[in-house]
Structure 1
Amino acid sequence: MKFPVIAFAGVTATVIGIAGIADGDQLRKGLGDLIASAAPELAVTFGNAADSGKGARGTGSQEVAQAQTPPQADTPPTDEPPAVDESALRYFASQGDTARLQAEISRLRALYPNWTPPRDPLAVPRNKDVQLETMWQLYSEGRYAEVRRAIADRQTREAGWQPPADLLERLDVAEARARLINASDLKQYETVIQVGANTPILLTCSEVDVLWRVAEAFAETKRQGRARDAYLYILKNCDSEPERLATLQKAAAALPYAMLQELLSYERPNVAGTLEFESIRDDLARRFVAEGEDDAALAVDPKYLQRIERLVETQDMASDALLLGWYQLRRKNMNAAEQWFRRARDKQDSASASQGLALTLIDRKAPEEAEKVLYPWRDASADARATYMAATANLLAIEPPVGLAGDVLQRIAQETMKARDPATAQQFGWYARSLGQPQTALQWFSTALRWNPDDEPSAYGLAVTRQQLGDTAGAVEIQRLWAGRSERIARLGEPEKPTEAGQVPGPTGQEAQPGAAERGRPAVAVVRRQAGLPARVGSSPRQVVRRTVGCRETLDPNRLAPQAALARGWCLMDMNRPLEAAEAFEVALRTSASTMREDAAYGQSLAYLRAGLTSKAAVAATKSPQSRARVAELQTAILADRAIAAFDTGRYRETLLFLDQLRHISSERTDLMVLRGYAYLRLNRFAEAKRIFEAAAATGNRDARRGLADVSREEEIWPNK
């Protein structure tokens, strides 16, 4: 969301005035320390400049001048008026530049306390030194290079002639300002900081435009704390209401939520008696809530949420309701999110509102309504299509199957083929089996495997269906192809034998109808869109060799003792049935034996990780104290999974946050380095993306080499990024 920013392109006036010199020195030196600390190699130079007595804080239209009090000579006092060069007054007055005119008056008063400014600056006689008069004219017109050339030419012609020190000082500062502004416009941010450090006289309230540019340079070079200090300097010390308002707006675009709250604490009442930032308070609230939408860990002050809620009531804008809906969805407050998405759709149906509502409906097990809501918007974006396919997969996976109208089934089938979505194709296979249509099921399972050859539930479904139809050779071929990869496919058709306490066997030699857990988890999460990225961390972080035969049939684990349930859980994990394993581990957690509880909590966390349920895995890991090694193992898997999930949903900054956390507990795998590179690329941080891809490519990783090509292609499209 874009917010209006007041531009002050004209706030680049020359340095003037030394009113309040002591205070000015203090303020300037404070910001000087700020710059010097950001550029340590300049600290000595900058400190010397800050201590030289140059610059001060101005008020109103005044600016900061570089002026020095004339040395006190040991000469007797005289009543003879000083010789004051008033030519600059006349030129500024002739140009109509009242700001510079007033600044020059302040400067001359500071230098010559007994001097009285002329009533009419335009009546000031021209300087008898015509050449010097011309130099001042060029200076007033901003033609600094020509001034330098005129000075050099005159010094060549007239040996011993020296220009006024005031003119030289003004030229130095004006040229520094021009260099800084030019570097800022060209996004040469280190140069901006360098010039600011070398010219502390520019870092005052009279040069707010320069301060903004320095703050921007800090923000763009990832030194947000320093940018905060620059903006804070303005709000603490500068008085222009329009400039203060613009400062807050610029800071809001560059700084995170917490830093903005600190800046807002320096808000003042304005001349009208209201708070000075009230006019942008609604936009700030929208920005903060949007930031909370991107970062689930960010706790936005309820007052901002309440403000948006009032805006929904008073202005009835769908966009405000959407902000609240996505904010609540990111925090798993599904009931509140659903209400706001419905409010937004009532006002203006849109892809965003329909997608958000569909996600809440999927969460509360209402995929039929989710499919209906999102179908008109299924092609609006990649995320919308992924959510729609998740809804269809969940709809077809409902147990017992729901009766769907023919037109609904037809459009789901068409969209599945168009999207080439293996998850929904697989669920079509199970749905067809439940309706007694094994031939149709064969087609769908085969299609799912063609799109995803590693989809074990589809391979299992195809094998079961072929066996059901008497195609023994076809079932054996699938067993051959999946040998060593799926125990349940390998043991298909073998008679069941009860080997666990409390189990009740089915009829010998009969293959049980696969339950929902055996079919494979429906695609609730948004599917991956970025080719070449690492797969989701769905398998356990390490292989657990705890095999127990006889867990192929489905039974209620609540009928087992905790020890038997624990053994069954590990057996189910070996058979790649993680959801059933999680249920078994939950029964094992009921024991009072600490060692068994630790194993059960560990196993359940692994099971949820394999099923892609990261949040549940994190909760399971806390159900019993774990050893340090296991804690590190689970944290690594959970953070990696969350990083991938964040990338899948376009939350690239959060992806980097999870990867940074992961670095603290383990070395970064090559596939996650590639993920980091793509996150940088999506944020248009090409240099960092290239550096990461180069490091990963050095290991021989093909995805990293593909990433380097993607960076080059993006740099060609966006050369100025």
Structure 2
Amino acid sequence: MRPALILALGLAGLAPAAGAERPDETALRYYATQRQPERVAAEAGRLTRRFPGWTPPADLWTAEPGAEDEEGFWDLLNAGRLDVLHKALAERAGAEPGWKPSGALAGALARRRLRDEVRAIAKAGRWADLATLADRRRPEIEAGEPEVAWTVAEALARADRAPEAIALFGRALASPRAGADARRAGLLRALALLPMAEIDRLAAGIPADDLAPIRIDLIRARLAAVLRDEAGQAVGPDDLAAFQAYAEPAPDPDQAALVAWYALKRSDLPEALAWFKRAIARGGDAMVAHGLAHTLLRLGLHREAEDVAYAWREPLVNNTLLFIDILERDLTRATPPAIEPERLRRYAEVTAATASGEGAQALAWYATNTCQFDAALAWFRRAVAWFPKEATVYGYALALQRAGQQRAFVEVVNRYDGLFPRVIGLLFDPRPDRPSPCDAATQRPPETAARGTYLDLAPRPEPRGRVPNPEALAAPAAPLVRRSDFPLAVAMENDLRAAPAGSPVPAVTLPTTRPAGRVPTTARRVPGVGPMPYERFGFSLLPAWTGEAGPSVPSAAERPAPLGSLWSAMQAVPAEPPARPDIATTGAIASVNRKAQP
């Protein structure tokens, strides 16, 4: 062997053992370069007889001249000892003037350098730099190792250059150098980066037998594409049955959860319930519990859904919001149902801890409709501090009016002039939108006559009302609004502040001083808000900042949700689904006779 190469191999720990004779393949390679197969066969036979176990080198007929004794260099390259390899190459070039490594070795070394550079940039997450590198060295990348092509294609996809990434994936998958394993690895790499429609186009050029080992991965990606509402995607019955059979014994809860979310997407609620319960039993996370709560809610099991959302409220804020929303529906009814004290207490604790304006106004309305006026005023005050929407401010004004706090009442009404018509309407039509159960005292109808010895079972005559004369109907009188109540110059800022329960930061108290200068008493119109109650009497507002002089009809709150939005999808789901005969409506979650799995 050459002295420089022997020294390099010794440094790398790859030198031949002492006394071990290495076959001299110089003559063999010379005959191969001269294209003399008879002499190659004779020399190979001689080396085989002298060195039992020796086999001809794989690159015997393809090696370039000068590559006869580069095996040691290749060993260093395959071992990843690039520093030692560079040193050995430099020493041989110095010992043999004019010597250069073969083209095969030089190309392999350049590809290794490129792979290491690409790996380092990708590991650092510098996708933009890697995409720039691809622009400079595109031919080398396409002619290099498949792993380099996959990584650069990922960088292009992450740099919002999807068409280039798709083209690079396609060329690399169609390359004759890519075997079945490499093509599968590339397609799996593309699954997380490209739409499923592009994955289908890439997979169309791969034989079906090569795709069989990753069939489950492709079905999983298609299920996820359906859940993301990708256009044109559907899961066939055979594929769904195959994935269910895979997910059934799988210990990973995400596999069962994926089947559950897909069943919920198709509104197959019993199937979704069974798979969500299976995922939770295998250690599913708070997002799986969120899906379980939604399934229970759509099945009409409100109490069970409330318990699940409450139990998983800490790991995921979505569950906290869902817990607030579930009970809010009952709390805000005009005639609320009886709710257990412990449920009200935990609802109040979560509301106070999260500073939920929705939860606070729900508790306030429940307190109002159950004649707990002090608690109602306190919760309305926090609700306005956290989320001052129209219904909340309207309830707060009613609570102030009932508590006899007239000055605070008129200030709140004037503050929201031009924004909340219902609040302003309390001055022009003092009757509330709906009567409170506490206002009308239930009186027993008086006895019309003394009861005799025998029961009077005769039917009572229905009272007949008198039809009023149309000429006697008087036009409704204009409301009497005192000048001292409206319009008033009040501070426009919401002065209510309330810190969440347990917060180390105290609530900020705003100064109550009046702003300097003259404050306007005529409100400015707000785009999206309907007419104010006093406009029908000839009064008007200042133009909006957009120049609009008239009210918005219909108002923003009355307009339907835009198609395709989350709010539109939620409105499409019935709030009160019909009860199902196979699901228990009270108590613990009942077992469901789910469909037989294939």
TM-score, shorter chain, exceeding 0.5: yes
- Cα distance change on mapping 1:495 and 1:276 into 2, 3 Å: closer
Please give the residue correspondences for 1:124-163 in structure 2 after superposition, counting only pairs within 5 Å. Answer: 137-138=72-73, 140-142=75-77, 143-150=84-91, 152-154=93-95, 161-163=97-99
- Cα distance change on mapping 1:364 and 1:217 into 2, 3 Å: same
Cα distance in 2 for partners of 1:293, 1:106 equals: 63
Cα distance in 2 for partners of 1:293, 1:240 equals: 32
- Cα distance change on mapping 1:325 and 1:232 into 2, 3 Å: same
User: Paired residue for 1:390?
Assistant: 325
**Residue 112 of structure 2, aligned match among 169, 172, 178:** 178
Cα distance in 1 for partners of 2:363, 2:137 equals: 65
Contact 2:332 / 2:362 at 8 angstroms: preserved in 1? yes
Cα distance in 2 for partners of 1:429, 1:219 equals: 51
**Residue 480 of structure 1, aligned match among 384, 395, 414:** 414
**Residue 310 of structure 2, aligned match among 372, 375, 384:** 375
- Cα distance change on mapping 1:140 and 1:495 into 2, 3 Å: closer
Matched residue type, 1:185: R
**Residue 282 of structure 1, aligned match among 205, 210, 216:** 216
Q: Does 1:407 align with 2:359?
A: no
Per the TM alignment, residue 319 of structure 1 is displaced from its structure 2 partner at its CA by 3.5
- Cα distance change on mapping 1:147 and 1:364 into 2, 3 Å: same
Q: Does 1:358 align with 2:311?
A: no
Per the TM alignment, residue 170 of structure 1 is displaced from its structure 2 partner at its CA by 3.1
- Cα distance change on mapping 1:309 and 1:409 into 2, 3 Å: same
**Residue 191 of structure 2, aligned match among 246, 249, 252:** 252
User: Paired residue for 1:422?
Assistant: 357
User: Paired residue for 2:593?
Assistant: none
Contact 1:432 / 1:440 at 8 angstroms: preserved in 2? yes
Per the TM alignment, residue 216 of structure 1 is displaced from its structure 2 partner at its CA by 4.0
Contact 2:365 / 2:395 at 8 angstroms: preserved in 1? yes
Q: Does 1:114 align with 2:36?
A: yes
Cα distance in 1 for partners of 2:154, 2:32 equals: 34
Cα distance in 1 for partners of 2:27, 2:419 equals: 88
Contact 2:196 / 2:225 at 8 angstroms: preserved in 1? yes
The 3-state SS of whatever aligns with 2:426 is: coil
What per-residue deviation string (whole Å, max 9, x for no partner) do you get for residues 52-111 of structure 1? xxxxxxxxxxxxxxxxxxxxxxxxxxxxxxxxxxx99xx9x999xxxxx9xx99998985
User: Paired residue for 1:466?
Assistant: 400
Cα distance in 2 for partners of 1:316, 1:178 equals: 39
Matched residue type, 1:474: A
Q: Does 1:615 align with 2:571?
A: no
What per-residue deviation string (whole Å, max 9, x for no partner) do you get for residues 230-271 of structure 1? 4444544357443333333333344331222223323436xx
More helix by share: 1
Q: Does 1:263 align with 2:202?
A: yes
Q: Which structure has the bigger radius of gyration?
A: 2
What per-residue deviation string (whole Å, max 9, x for no partner) do you get for residues 375-421 of structure 1? 21111212222222222333423454222111111111111111111
What per-residue deviation string (whole Å, max 9, x for no partner) do you get for residues 470-494 of structure 1? 3322312322333343232223142
Report which structure shows greater RCO (CA 8 Å, sep ≥6): 2
**Residue 189 of structure 1, aligned match among 114, 130, 146:** 130
Cα distance in 1 for partners of 2:331, 2:352 equals: 15
**Residue 280 of structure 2, aligned match among 348, 355, 378:** 348
What per-residue deviation string (whole Å, max 9, x for no partner) do you get for residues 423-463 of structure 1? 111111111111122221111101112223x3332221111
- Cα distance change on mapping 1:345 and 1:132 into 2, 3 Å: closer
User: Paired residue for 2:591?
Assistant: none
Cα distance in 1 for partners of 2:173, 2:369 equals: 68
Per the TM alignment, residue 317 of structure 1 is displaced from its structure 2 partner at its CA by 7.2
Instruction: Give the aligned CA root-mean-square deviation in angstroms.
Output: 4.9
- Cα distance change on mapping 1:313 and 1:209 into 2, 3 Å: closer
Matched residue type, 1:257: M
Cα distance in 1 for partners of 2:315, 2:142 equals: 53
Contact 2:530 / 2:554 at 8 angstroms: preserved in 1? no
User: Paired residue for 1:18?
Assistant: none
Please give the residue correspondences for 1:501-580 in structure 2 after superposition, counting only pairs within 5 Å. Answer: 543=527, 547=531, 549=533, 573=555, 578=557
Contact 1:189 / 1:217 at 8 angstroms: preserved in 2? yes
Matched residue type, 2:87: E
User: Paired residue for 2:519?
Assistant: none
Contact 1:422 / 1:447 at 8 angstroms: preserved in 2? yes
What per-residue deviation string (whole Å, max 9, x for no partner) do you get for residues 181-212 of structure 1? 12112125247636753537944xxx444444
User: Paired residue for 1:704?
Assistant: none
Contact 1:173 / 1:202 at 8 angstroms: preserved in 2? no
User: Paired residue for 2:494?
Assistant: none
Matched residue type, 1:279: P
Cα distance in 1 for partners of 2:193, 2:326 equals: 37
Matched residue type, 2:188: Q
Cα distance in 1 for partners of 2:27, 2:240 equals: 51
Contact 2:269 / 2:295 at 8 angstroms: preserved in 1? yes
Q: Does 1:442 align with 2:377?
A: yes
Q: Does 1:199 align with 2:121?
A: no
Contact 1:449 / 1:455 at 8 angstroms: preserved in 2? yes
Matched residue type, 1:114: Q
Contact 1:235 / 1:244 at 8 angstroms: preserved in 2? yes
Q: Does 1:455 align with 2:384?
A: no
Tell me the matched-pair count: 420
**Residue 428 of structure 2, aligned match among 479, 482, 494:** 494
Contact 1:341 / 1:353 at 8 angstroms: preserved in 2? no
* Matched-pair identity in %: 22
- Cα distance change on mapping 1:107 and 1:199 into 2, 3 Å: farther
Contact 1:173 / 1:199 at 8 angstroms: preserved in 2? no
Contact 1:181 / 1:213 at 8 angstroms: preserved in 2? no
Per the TM alignment, residue 226 of structure 1 is displaced from its structure 2 partner at its CA by 3.8
- Cα distance change on mapping 1:216 and 1:459 into 2, 3 Å: closer
Contact 2:276 / 2:291 at 8 angstroms: preserved in 1? no
Matched residue type, 2:309: L
- Cα distance change on mapping 1:258 and 1:108 into 2, 3 Å: farther
